[in-house]
Amino acid sequence: MNDQKNPNIHCTVDQCAHNLCTENYCTLDQVHIDTHEANPTVKECVDCASFVKRQECQ
Ligand code: SF4
């Protein structure tokens, strides 16, 4: 896993394996943002499709 933060992608999802949880940034070069709704209207409708469940915070 890459342990360098991407300063352009702030993220607080510590449960994701791509999150540098000590600094609240993503470590990927880019992420895929998606929606689970047919017609999204609020931010809760939008998801990071690059999420991968981590085993533990490192
Ligand atoms: S992949 Fe998505 S959820 Fe995971 S750290 Fe990056 S931006 Fe956050």
pLDDT at 57: 58
Closest atom, ligand 1, to C-alpha of 16: 4
Q: Residue with the nearest Cα to atom 5 of ligand 1?
A: 19
Domain span holding position 43? 1-58
pLDDT at 12: 96
- How many angstroms is it from 52 CA to the middle of ligand 1? 8
pLDDT at 7: 97
Measure Cα distances from 15 to 23, 40, 54 in Å: 13, 24, 6
Over the chain (58 residues), the average pLDDT of each successive run of 10 is 88 95 94 97 98 81
Q: Which residue has the tokens 């085993």?
A: 55
State which amino acid sits at residue 52.
V
Q: Cα 12–16–31 angle (5° rounding)?
A: 80
Closest atom, ligand 1, to C-alpha of 48: 2
The strand pairing partners of 15, in sequence order, are none
Long-range contacts of 29-35 (CB under 8 A, 24+ apart): none
Q: How many domains does the chain have?
A: 1
User: What is the reported pTM?
Assistant: 0.87
